[in-house]
């Protein structure tokens, strides 16, 4: 469609721009008056929090890169110099370091929200799949970022993870050599990891944009898992959810600040403060906490290729989740058995994370194997069957119904009147 946009903005400057490039109209449509289900709980904060977290990571990362030296000779020292000598370098580094952990906390809760309330179901399958792509990109970015300080954990983490590809039959060894740019993790590896670590966040930003576009086509899911039926069921995004997101943001920043200012190294590993030594592997090597469940799955399978396939399979299975879950009902609120099993699944993943951080011996191996089996059982067996067997509770007629009858008292006048005005 060619032609100038008919802008409704009164301000002549904004109107002039908006007529030619309707950014202001778009922002108002997507973030101002955007009709949003009115029954969100605080789980719906986590998308916005992830967006904020991404911006924090990019901002601190750009300034860290100004002082970072991507060479095996200089990387470790340059990171120490950032912490000791660069103005506020300690702050930038600890925000970036703990920001990665915060990012995964936020995203894992965001994913739990999606699974608990069935947000991946029709018509939001693609939205969910784009989300899984973001998760994969985040994992790659986090892994490469962890290599950059060039400590012992960095080096051996890089060695172990890149060696995963050697499990691929026939071409595996060639792929690993290609990844390394040599015959071991060395200067070329560090250089390319830095380059890619800088690139990936912008790729993530692009995919996040697609995620948001897809979200704004289907509209948000909500705790009841039923579509809004009328204007009565929605609220304009601003100010109702900008404010609600801000409340969540304050709590998020509090947790973030406690990590950064009081226990900046709590989630890290002390061995990473020893410079990389290609001749000595630390006695107990573990990945960052957010990879532990997947690491446990890798270790549970007594076969090199099998372990790698299971580990990647643990994420690949998320891609097809919308088709594995056969229940037509979205929200766990109305699925009594699924709701219980969702908690069992969370415990399963937490236990996987726990054994992933322990030495692989004795009971840890058995527990890891049982939990790995259950992880796949949940997705591949329980969800398809449960959807057909389970008798869901009756769904409410509309979002407004339970909000008005079960909620605490009537809504303030403005909340009800607002959606009517903006037709």
Name the CA dihedral angle for 63, 213, 319, 169, rounded to a multiple of 10 degrees: -50
64 Cβ neighbours under 8 A, 6+ residues apart: 82, 89, 92, 93, 96
91 binds another protein (CB under 8 A): yes
- Please, how many CA atoms are within 13 Å of residue 173, restricted to the half-sphere of its CB? 2
Residue 278 and residue 155 in contact, taking contact as beta carbons nearer than 8 Å: yes
How far is Cα 395 from Cα 115, in angstroms, rounded to an integer? 18
Told to check if 88 binds another protein by CB under 8 A, we report yes
**Catalytic residue chosen out of the listed positions 71, 166, 216, 398:** 216
Stretch that binds another protein, among 38-46, 77-85, 264-272, 310-318 (CB under 8 A): 77-85
122 annotated active-site? no
Applying CB under 8 A, which of residues 48, 92, 324, 399 lies at the interface with another protein? 92
236 binds another protein (CB under 8 A): no
Span of 2-10, 87-95, 197-205, 211-219 interacting with another protein by CB under 8 A: 87-95
What is the C-alpha separation between 262 and 46, in angstroms, rounded? 24
- The distance between the two most distant Cα atoms of the chain, rounded to a whole number of Å, is 73
Distances (CA, A) of 82 to 57, 64, 69, 187, 291: 16, 8, 10, 20, 26
Whole-number Å distance between alpha carbons of 267 and 401: 44
Which of 19, 67, 205, 232 touches another protein (CB under 8 A)?
A: 67
Is 220 one of the catalytic residues?
yes
Options 110, 121, 154, 288, the catalytic residue: 288
Contact pattern for another protein over residues 44 through 63, marking x by CB under 8 A: ---------------xx--x
383 to 422: interface string for another protein, x by CB under 8 A: ------------------------------x---------
Q: Which stretch binds another protein (CB under 8 A): 43-51, 79-87, 222-230, 361-369?
A: 79-87
Q: Note whether 3 binds another protein by CB under 8 A.
A: no
Q: Is residue 17 a contact point for another protein (CB under 8 A)?
A: no
85 is an interface residue for another protein by CB under 8 A: yes
Residues in contact with 188: Cβ distance below 8 Å, sequence separation at least 6, in sequence order? 180, 181, 182
253 or 351, CB closer to another protein?
A: 253
Nearest CB to another protein, comparing residues 88 and 343: 88
Q: Closer to another protein at the Cβ: 80 or 227? A: 80
Nearer to another protein, 28 or 331 (CB): 28
Supply 203's token pair: 């790729």
Q: Is 354 in the site for another protein (CB under 8 A)?
A: no
Please tell me which residue in 78, 121, 233, 245 is annotated as part of the active site.
245
| 216 given a catalytic annotation | yes
At residue 107's C-alpha, the angle toward residues 102 and 110, to 5°, is: 130
CA nearest neighbour of 315 among 303, 332, 297, 339: 297
The CA distance from 336 to 321, in Å, is 19
Phi and psi (nearest 5°) for 236?
Answer: -65, 140
Q: Which residues make Cβ contacts (< 8 Å) with residue 202, sequence separation at least 6?
A: 58
Pair of tokens at residue 240? 């109702």
Decide if 245 is catalytic: yes
In the list 3, 84, 262, 394, the residue contacting another protein (rule: CB under 8 A) is 84
Nearer to another protein, 52 or 132 (CB): 52
Nearer to another protein among residue 242 and residue 340 (C-beta): 242
Question: Would you say 89 or 368 has its CB closer to another protein?
Answer: 89
Is residue 85 annotated as a catalytic residue, yes or no? no
Structure-token pair, residue 330? 């979205």
Provide, rounded to whole angstroms, the least separation between the CB of residue 416 and another protein: 13
Q: Partners of 275 in the beta sheet?
A: 151
Binding stretches for another protein (CB under 8 A): 59-60, 63, 66-67, 81, 84-89, 91-92, 413
């Amino acid at each position: 469609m060619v032609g100038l946009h008919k802008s409704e903005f009164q301000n002549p400057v904004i109107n002039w721009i908006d007529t030619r490039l309707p950014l202001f109209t778009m922002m108002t449509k997507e973030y101002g008056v955007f009709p949003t289900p009115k029954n969100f709980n605080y789980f719906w904060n986590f998308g916005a929090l992830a967006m904020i977290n991404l911006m924090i990571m990019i901002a601190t990362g750009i300034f860290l890169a100004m002082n970072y030296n991507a060479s095996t000779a200089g990387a470790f020292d340059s990171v120490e110099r950032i912490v000791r000598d660069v103005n506020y370098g300690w702050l930038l580094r600890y925000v970036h370091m703990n920001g990665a952990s915060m990012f995964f906390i936020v995203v894992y809760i965001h994913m739990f929200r999606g699974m608990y309330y069935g947000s991946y179901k029709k018509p939001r399958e693609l939205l969910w799949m784009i989300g899984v792509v973001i998760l994969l990109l985040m994992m790659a970015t986090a892994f490469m970022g962890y290599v950059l300080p060039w400590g012992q954990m960095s080096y051996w983490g890089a060695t172990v993870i890149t060696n995963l590809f050697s499990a691929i039959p026939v071409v595996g060894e060639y792929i690993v050599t290609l990844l390394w740019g040599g015959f071991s993790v060395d200067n070329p590896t560090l250089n390319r990891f830095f380059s890619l670590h800088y690139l990936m966040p912008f790729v993530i930003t692009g995919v996040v944009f697609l995620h948001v576009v897809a979200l704004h086509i289907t509209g948000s899911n909500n705790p009841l898992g039923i579509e809004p039926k009328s204007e009565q069921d929605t609220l304009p995004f601003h100010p109702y959810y900008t404010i609600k997101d801000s409340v969540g943001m304050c709590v998020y920043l509090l947790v973030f600040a406690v990590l950064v200012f009081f226990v900046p190294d709590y989630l890290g590993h002390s061995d990473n403060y020893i410079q990389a030594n290609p001749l000595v592997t630390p006695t107990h090597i573990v990945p960052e906490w957010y990879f532990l469940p997947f690491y446990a799955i890798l270790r549970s399978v007594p076969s090199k290729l099998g372990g790698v396939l299971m580990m990647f399979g643990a994420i690949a299975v998320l891609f097809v989740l919308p088709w594995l879950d056969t229940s037509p009902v979205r929200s766990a609120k109305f699925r009594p058995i699924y709701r219980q099993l969702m908690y069992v699944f969370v415990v399963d993943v937490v236990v996987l994370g726990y054994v992933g951080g322990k030495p692989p011996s004795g009971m840890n191996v058995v527990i890891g194997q049982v939990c790995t089996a259950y992880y796949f059982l949940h997705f591949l067996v329980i969800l398809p069957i449960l959807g057909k067997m389970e008798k869901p509770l009756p769904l409410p007629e509309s979002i407004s119904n339970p909000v008005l009858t079960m909620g605490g008292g009537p809504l303030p006048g403005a909340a009800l009147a607002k959606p009517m005005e903006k037709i």
